[in-house]
Amino acid sequence: MSLPSPAGIQGTAGTPRPSSRRRRRRKSLAIAYEAGQGDGAEPRGERWEPPAWREQLERIREMRSSRDAPVDEMGVHKCYDISAPPQVMRYQVLLALMLSSQTKDQVTSAAMLRLRQRGLTVDSVLQMDEESLGRIIYPVGFWRNKVKYIKQTTAILKQKYGGDIPSTVEELVQLPGVGPKMAHLAMHIAWDSVAGIAVDTHVHRISNRLKWVKKETKYPEETRVALEEWLPRDLWKEINWLLVGFGQQTCLPVNPRCSQCLNQDICPAAKRP
C-alpha cells in the first residue's frame, strides 16, 4: 500500500549529542536499520523463511481488503494537514507518531485535530506553554511525558534541522520520545522512504503467532530484525499497515477471533473448533 507522503527537501545535518552510553546503543541499532536485510542479496534457497507465509499473507490481504480498521480511518497517515507545506506536514506526521504510542488511533486523531485547529507548526508549539499543550493532547497515553518530549524535540528540530524533521532513522531515534517504530513510520509516511519494517505491538504479536520468526521474540525490535532477515524488501512498507489493522479487528491481543480468520487452518496459534 502506498500511503500519502509529504516528501520534499531533505533535513539538514546535525543531531543532539546523547550520553556516550546512549550514543553507542543508538549506533548499534542504526547499523541494523540500514543494513538492508531481506533485499534478496542472499540466494533464495539459503535463507530461512516460514512455511506457508505467502498464503497466510494473501489471506490477511483479503481480510484487510475493506480497509475499515481504526488504523485505516484514523491512523497517522490521516492526521496531518495535506494542504500544509511539506515541511509542516512532515512535522505533523512526527507529532502524530509521538502521540500515538500506547494510545488508540481514535484518541490520537482527536488530539491531532485539536492541535491543528490551533495551527500546528514548529513555531506554534514552541510558543505554547506545557500546561496548554497538555490540555490539548489529553487524554493520550502518558500525556505528561509526551508534553516534555514534544517540546524538547520541537526545539531540536528548530535548532538543528531548520524546522524540518531528520531524513534518516538513525537521526530520528535520537530525538526525545521517538522510538524505532515511530522512526520507520516517519520514513515511510513523511519521506516516502523504506529503511526498515515498523514493528509495533500488533506486528510483534502476530509475527510470533504465525511463527514468522525463527524463534520467539520478546521485544518489537527483535521482531523487526527477525522479519527483515527473510521478508522481501518490497513488502516492508505494506506489512505494518496490514498487520496493525488485522490485529485491531481479528487477531486481537486477548481472545483473538480465530473462528473468523481465514488463516485458522494454517495458523500455528489458532484456536480450532
CA distance 227 to 236: 9
Structure confidence by residue, pLDDT tens digits, 72-93? 999 999 999 999 999 999 999 9
- Close Cβ partners of 197 (under 8 Å, ≥ 6 residues apart): 184, 203, 224, 227, 228, 231, 236, 239, 240
Q: Tell me, what's the pLDDT at 273?
A: 76
3-state secondary structure of 266: coil
175, 98 in Cβ contact below 8 A? Answer: no
- 197, three cell numbers: 519494517
- Is residue 146 among the annotated active site residues? no
Residue of 151, 160, 181, 237 with catalytic role: 181
**CB under 8 Å to 58, separation ≥6 — which residues?**
none
The alpha carbons of the chain give a radius of gyration, in whole angstroms, of: 19
Q: Give the model's pLDDT for residue 6.
A: 55
How high is the pLDDT of residue 106? 97
